[in-house]
Structure 1
Amino acid sequence: MTVTTSEITASTDLQTVKPTIGNFERNLTWWVLGCIVVGITLGKVFPSFFQAVGGLKIAEVNLPVAILIWLMIIPMLLKIDFSAMKEVLNHSKGIGVTLFINWIVKPFSMALLAWLFIRHLFAGLLPVEQIDSYIAGLILLAAAPCTAMVFVWSGLCGGEPKFTLSQVAINDAIMLFAFAPLVALLLGLSSITVPWNTLFISVLLFIVVPVVISQVLRKLLLSRGQSAFDNVL
């Protein structure tokens, strides 16, 4: 049986190229564990220095942490094109599911789990004065839709790029306005009081500022050409 060149080419074209990740991403778990160990060690060795760093706050929001978070998320935020929100109507069902999960199911279910496990089941294992902080931390995490890793997961599973971009853009836009009220509601239901100025400063430092910086950088890079933008990413 003779196999022609055209048949080989056609067969090759039908093969699916599996997305891959680099060594850094593949070993991310170990990087995180290593950073935790290093952080704890440095805190034990230089306690006064890190206490001073921890004291750099505005409305109880730590500024060094905010800057480190900017460095972590701005590279991913560069990928967000808010003009992609016009694609929402083309993916209305998928976007609807995403919004329902992100803004109804996830935050309220996490608040319920925090109340169940932290307030009751594991309360005896935790310092009493820290229980509210643990619950508040879980609520804060649950109320913020994941942005950066969405691009990673979408790439790994060969997702639709326009859908990914549009759903990230609309979730980030909603987060600018809905995060603080939602967190205030859930904390109130959990009988935890957090000053509104702390919530607003958190939104400003952790959401608004990095989004603005990333969009300014995005426009500057795109003004130099698509290749310059792609090289940075």
Structure 2
Amino acid sequence: MSLFERYLTLWVASCIAAGIALGHALPGLFHAVGAAEIARVNLPVAVLIWLMVTPMLLRIDFASLRQVGRHWRGIGVTLFINWAVKPFSMAALGWLFVGTLFRPYLPADQIDSFIAGLIILAAAPCTAMVFVWSNLTRGEPHFTLSQVALNDTIMVVAFAPIVGLLLGLSSITVPWGTLVLSVVLYIVIPVVVAQVLRRSLLASGGPAALDRLLGRLGPVSLAALLATLVLLFGFQGGQILAQPAVIGLLAVPILIQVYFNSGLAYLMNRAAGERHCVAGPSALIGASNFFELAVAAAISLFGFHSGAALATVVGVLVEVPVMLSVVWIVNRSRGWYERGAAGKGAAGKGVAGQEAAPKHAPREA
């Protein structure tokens, strides 16, 4: 495990604190950065997200989609959670908590915007951090890789319609042009660039050339992630300091969402007889969010200082510590899980008689 992965919570907390402090001390600088946009899409945020996501996408071989059938139970569970449960359950939780129970305690003019941010947050499954979570649970690497590749493929065509549908049900005007542009900028372009570059490198220098480039881009991706956190919390630092109670209230549906979806995926995999090394990453993929895309889309659609942007930033605030707690639960419950799965023939062998995953999964998984 890398130094970044080992002290992930510390790095994220440091960037959050630095962003809030800098946003409070240098508001003019952050306003200037926030004004650098085209069609309501902020260019500095777009560049940082490209730098952050593209190295992760370089690791993904979309040919791995051929392996989907090897872990069809886990794939089916995760797809069901990601696309049929999570966006809609978050919309329901947003309407229940933000739109009803917490309405008297929240700014009245931001209620719809808060709900929109929660929906956007839940509509995109996590891509980059999935490899970290899977590694921490000793997840099956081929399952993680094929699941991420499949999710990214679906996200290209499904993210905008799902968000548009749910925002429409929330009676929120959807600027479709901006939403589609966000999908193109933050999903389509990085996927295409990464796959073209990957194929070029493999054709010219083989896997060694790809590994060398990934080694050089690793620090760039990390720096872009940390800079994005500083920037986002710099934009929202004033609101976070001014209304901590709002942050706490917005965190409630996000926390419920994470534990509900991860628990449901974990139990469904156990009931289906899937191996623990598949069920662990399935639960984590089912619960985590592509917060980089969510924040960028919320900013593009509603602006830097909107309730939607704040809601997605709250998602960033709670994502890492909550997901680490899910990792702990998954690891600690392995014995219980395998006693139930053993009755269905999945404890020692995988689908179609495959051997169980090695004790220590490869780092990228």
For residue 116 of structure 1, what is the aligned residue in structure 2?
Answer: 96
- Are the structure 2 counterparts of residues 124 and 33 from structure 1 closer, same or farther at C-alpha, using a change threshold of 3 Å? farther
Q: 2:18 aligns with which of 38, 48, 70?
A: 38
For residue 304 of structure 2, what is the aligned residue in structure 1?
Answer: none
Structure 1: give runs of 5+ residues left out of the alignment.
Answer: 1-20
Q: 1:83 aligns with which of 59, 63, 78?
A: 63
- Are the structure 2 counterparts of residues 26 and 122 from structure 1 closer, same or farther at C-alpha, using a change threshold of 3 Å? farther
Distance in structure 2 (CA, Å) of the matches to 1:226 and 1:105: 38
Shift of residue 73, structure 1, vs aligned partner:
1.7
- After superposition, give the CA deviation of every residue in 1:153-208 in whole Å (9 maximum; x if it has no partner): 22232222222211111111110001100000111111111210011011011111
Q: 2:107 aligns with which of 127, 146, 153?
A: 127
Shift of residue 79, structure 1, vs aligned partner:
1.1
Distance in structure 2 (CA, Å) of the matches to 1:163 and 1:46: 45
* Structure with more contact order per residue of length (Cα contacts < 8 Å, sep ≥ 6): 2
Q: How many residues were matched structurally?
A: 213
Distance in structure 2 (CA, Å) of the matches to 1:125 and 1:172: 37
Identity percentage over the alignment?
Answer: 66
CA contact (8 A) 2:5 2:132 kept: no
TM-score, structure 2 length as denominator?
Answer: 0.55
Shift of residue 145, structure 1, vs aligned partner:
0.9
1:36-185 to structure 2, matched below 5 A, reads 36-185=16-165
Task: Describe the SS at the equivalent of 1:224.
Answer: helix
Task: Describe the SS at the equivalent of 1:225.
Answer: helix
Give the counterpart letter for 1:33 in structure 2.
Answer: A
For residue 208 of structure 2, what is the aligned residue in structure 1?
Answer: 227
Distance in structure 1 (CA, Å) of the matches to 2:9 and 2:74: 30
Task: Describe the SS at the equivalent of 2:129.
Answer: helix
Task: Describe the SS at the equivalent of 1:104.
Answer: helix
Distance in structure 1 (CA, Å) of the matches to 2:37 and 2:97: 30
- After superposition, give the CA deviation of every residue in 1:122-151 in whole Å (9 maximum; x if it has no partner): 223322222222211111110101111222
CA contact (8 A) 2:94 2:118 kept: yes
- Are the structure 2 counterparts of residues 61 and 122 from structure 1 closer, same or farther at C-alpha, using a change threshold of 3 Å? farther
Distance in structure 2 (CA, Å) of the matches to 1:74 and 1:100: 26
Distance in structure 2 (CA, Å) of the matches to 1:134 and 1:217: 38
TM-score, structure 1 length as denominator?
Answer: 0.84
Q: Which moved more, 1:159-168 or 1:179-188?
A: 159-168
Q: Which moved more, 1:104-113 or 1:33-42?
A: 33-42
Distance in structure 2 (CA, Å) of the matches to 1:129 and 1:218: 46
